[in-house]
Chain A
Amino acid sequence: MSSLLSVDDLSVQLAPAAGRSGESGSIVESVSLRIDRGEALGLVGESGCGKSTLLLAVLDLLGPEMLRTSGEVLFDGRNLTLMAEAARRRLLGNDIGVVFQEPTRALNPVFKVGEQVAEVLRCHKGLDKRAAWSRAVELLEEVGIEQPALRARDYPHQLSGGMNQRVVIAMAIACSPALLVVDEPTTALDVTVQEEILALFRRLREERGMALLFVSHDLALVEQEVDRVAVMYAGSLVESAPTPVLFASPRHPYTRGLLDCQPKFAAPLTRLPEIGGVVPASDARPLGCSFHPRCRAAESRCSAELPVLTTDEAERTVACFYPLGGSQ
């Protein structure tokens, strides 16, 4: 039991507020996950399934409108949820690096990108101005920015989206974190740039032995990037398995649906298989399995009882009364 990150029974609700009464329903509902040292985990599901909220809850960055109602998060044996503010701030940035979707929003428009990377090093590593700047230039080179000494003097608006994302990645890895958390890091980028960024993550993991938590709505995107995939639907985990197992034989109908609607597997000029319907809001989830109204395999039991996660011999957990057969 030496997981790098271990999340146990984590739940998040909307904070009680004036004018709102009654049960709001959980945005994230008793989610447990673990990531070993050097391991890459993909967290996948449609928009509105609670992936980003889960991430914020794990990092203890939830805004005032949301409240963690249960669970604990252990990082390297230390309990993040009980940690004092100052200690947690040291941990984030030092031991955990984070990259969000929109690089232009993660960067300050009025500072040179080199200064923004250097600031991380000055805060966390106590480097002086000169040392931090020269280390920042090295980091920009490491993330694949050409002429790093020159580019370090540019402002974010002078760089492309892909270049800015590289700068954000340089900031995230500046202190050699043991875990890199990335939330839809390529969604705002072109496909060719996306491929370059994914290759960069692969290289960094190889060279530095970092663990990776990769959040995305696109199941196919994470296939080459992670060792295990956890699929989230309407606030709960519904399936998780080693990547090859999950792709070879998804057992939850939701996972199957996410795979089938991929255009890259489609026949030309033919309708794509749709899942149909939308993710229910956290206060409007149906009784029983949250997925049953959209599920083609649903039976009467699915609308009455909540399926729990069970684990099989292939290290796969699935929460479904009628999981798809392994031969499919």
Chain B
Amino acid sequence: MSLLSVQDLSVRFEVGRRLFGRSRGVVQAVDRVSFEIAEGETLAIVGESGSGKSTLARAALGLTPAQSGQVSYLRATGETESLLELDAARLRALRPELQIVFQDPGASLNPRFRVRELLSEAPRLHLGLDSDELDERVGRVLSRIGLGPEIAHRYPREFSAGQRQRIAIARALILEPRVLVCDEVTSSLDVSVQAGILNLLLDLQEESGLAYLFIAHDLAVVRVLAHRIAVMRAGRLVEVGEAREILEEPKHDYTKELLASSV
């Protein structure tokens, strides 16, 4: 049984709506998409800007309302939850287990918070830990991402882009998630810094069996950590398969085109 299973998920947006007016049309951002992720597995979703990758990920976590479809999540306790049917309170209770990291750490880290505050806010709210427990957890997660507990009193601006992205990953990790969505986490980084982040994600998965939904536009990056690859275009998955098959024997023309431009 897979950890996260998405069936026939669709998301549509109304466009061109004027104040008090009716919308002039709809965009089918995600069109009946299905996929599954197992524990310890990385599913990469690749496609160009505007293909609906991020919307798909957000809708799968219940962050963007879906038009239709089902998302089943298998909890550590063995119960299966239907994410899109939960009320707000029960969805919130599941949040620590399903986390997301975004592309631009400069935008996702509050510049007025020190690292300790940035990292401890979520576990304080979600898990109700006291100050000592929080300090302990912050220290542990900082060591895990290779930065060391002594940086806890510093501000995001004191770090390089790569270090900031590590801190953004730490903020998700501190809740001990089982599914981590990585939305273009290395796209704004130098190639040399990107290598460090990809290695960190590989190490974390090996240590804790984390499952990744890894969103990227570049197939070259995806080959480093994907077990399976789903190719998305205009809201639909055009090809899904084992990473090796997709990279070596792509069937769909669009996949071939993507491969040709990234290698």
Q: A residues touching B (Cβ–Cβ < 8 Å)?
A: 46-48, 160-161, 190-195, 217-220, 257-258, 261-264, 266, 268-275, 278
Contacts and interface: CB of A to CB of B under 8 A. Distances in A.
Nearest to A275: B192
A56 B35 CA distance: 48
B147 to A, nearest CB: 12
B191 A161 contact: no
The 6 lowest CB-CB distance pairs between A and B, nearest first, are: A261-B195, A195-B261, A264-B220, A272-B195, A190-B48, A191-B262
A268 B224 contact: yes
B224 A46 contact: no
Interface stretch (B111-119, B123-131, B196-204): B196-204
A263 B48 contact: no
A261 B261 contact: no
Given A47-B161, A47-B190, A268-B224, A191 B195 contact: no
A261 B260 contact: no
Most buried by A among B195, B224, B262: B195
B262 A46 contact: no
B199 A262 contact: no
Given A268-B244, A268-B247, A278-B162, 12 more contacts: A160-B49, A191-B218, A192-B261, A261-B191, A263-B218, A263-B220, A264-B262, A268-B223, A268-B224, A268-B226, A270-B202, A274-B196
Contacts of B261: 191-192, 194-195
A191 B192 CA distance: 18
Contact of B190 (A46, A193, A220): A46
Contacts, number: 87
Nearest to B160: A278
B221 interface: yes
Nearest to B262: A191
Nearest to B159: A278
Nearest to A161: B49
A285 B191 CA distance: 22
Interface string B20-32: 0000000000000
Given A46-B190, A46-B192, A263 B258 contact: no
Interface in B184-218: 190-196, 198-199, 202-203, 217-218
A262 B192 CA distance: 8
A160 B50 CA distance: 10
Contacts of B257: 192
Contacts of B190: 46-47, 217-218
Contacts of A193: 48
Contact of A266 (B48, B218, B224, B260): B224
B232 to A, nearest CB: 13
A219 B198 CA distance: 18
B138 to A, nearest CB: 22
A270 B192 CA distance: 16
Contacts of B160: 48, 278
Interface string B248-263: 0000000001101111
A263 B198 CA distance: 9
A191 B258 contact: yes
A262 B193 CA distance: 10
A184 to B, nearest CB: 10
Contacts of A191: 48, 217-219, 258, 261-262
B145 interface: no
A253 to B, nearest CB: 13
A41 B144 CA distance: 41
B38 to A, nearest CB: 15
Interface in B36-57: 48-49
Given A46-B190, A268-B244, A273 B217 contact: no
Contacts of A272: 195, 198-199, 224
B64 to A, nearest CB: 22
A160 B48 CA distance: 12
Interface in B42-88: 48-49
Contact of B49 (A190, A268, A274): A190
